[in-house]
Amino acid sequence: MLTLTSDDLTVTLDPPQGGRIASIVAFGEERLVSEVPRPSSWGAFPMVPWAGRVRHGKFTFEGVDYEMPINHPPHAMHGTAYTSDWEAVGPDSMRLELVDPWPFGGHTIHRASVDGATARFRLEVHAADRPMPAMAGWHPWYRKPVELTFTAAQMYEKDDEDIPTGRLVDPPPGPWDDTFTGLAGPPVLRWPDGTTLTITSSCDHWVIFTQPDHALCVEPQTGPPDAFNLAPQIVEPGSPLIAEMTLTFTR
């Protein structure tokens, strides 16, 4: 475990458990869902080298067909990093080599810092010796009861397999398990104890998942689910994909 602290905030990173943010205690209260048996359902885990679903685990890159393991039938979901054992490479950083079943190699780094009531996180996805598609993002499980405020210009339409079609539509009222873009401002969470969390990110896509009774997920990511098939981002050797997320708590 790696622990970063200030007077108002304690952030715990867990390298063996998928390089995740295992705990965020703000103003004396835990804000994340604690460990449960299913690794995709607690803490705030990094999604690398893709975020969300890849349709049936299949995509084509540079004319070659690839297939990822189906871990959320019938799709591949949330990458390979969140079930992997990361290496601590300092008091605030973790590193993971991207190996089989990921066919392109490369590595990823997850960094964190705490300053007062603000926590900052940075994901880097590095290619090895050839270009590769890549995505990055975080999947936080914030504890309910909590109130969410956000306004988005557009939402991705989904098909009957819960995969974005690529078409953007006007957002309907919740509840949601959907991908939004064009936010008018950062998402804000408010807990009954008077604590407010403002979430900012370099990512321009946000998955909002409000359906569970016990938790709410606000997931910044560098592209929509199934981006490898819709509009893949390409990472070149020496030019990593970088994603940043800042969590600012106030009371």
Structural domains in the chain (count): 1
Which residue's structure tokens are 């974005």? Answer: 164
On average, the pLDDT of the chain sits at 97
Q: How confident is residue 235, by pLDDT bands cut at 50, 70 and 90?
A: very high
pLDDT of residue 225: 97
pLDDT of residue 184: 96
pLDDT of residue 43: 98
- Phi, psi for 57 (deg, rounded to 5): 75, 10
**114-124 burial code (b ≥16 CB/10 A, e <16):** beebbbbbbbb
Q: Is 39 helix (H, G, I), strand (E, B) or coil?
A: helix
Domain around 241 = 2-250
Side chain identity, residue 16:
P
Over range 241-247, report the average pLDDT.
98
Q: Is 240 helix (H, G, I), strand (E, B) or coil?
A: coil
Helical H segments across the chain, by residue range:
227-230
- Per DSSP bridges, beta strands 164-169 and 177-183 are unpaired
pLDDT tens string 62-103 = 999 999 999 999 999 999 999 999 999 999 999 999 999 999
pLDDT > 70 in the chain, percent: 100
- C-alpha 206/C-alpha 209 separation (Å) is 10
Strands (E), 84-163: 87-90, 93-97, 107-115, 118-126, 132-133, 137-140, 142-143, 147-149, 152-158
Q: How confident is residue 39, by pLDDT bands cut at 50, 70 and 90?
A: very high
Which residue's structure tokens are 């349709």? Answer: 55
pLDDT of residue 151: 96
CATH number at residue 137: 2.70.98.10
pLDDT tens string 135-182 = 999 999 999 999 999 999 999 999 999 999 999 999 999 899 999 999
User: Of the candidates 214, 177, 221, 171, which has an alpha carbon nearest to the alpha carbon of residue 199?
Assistant: 221
Q: What's the pTM?
A: 0.96
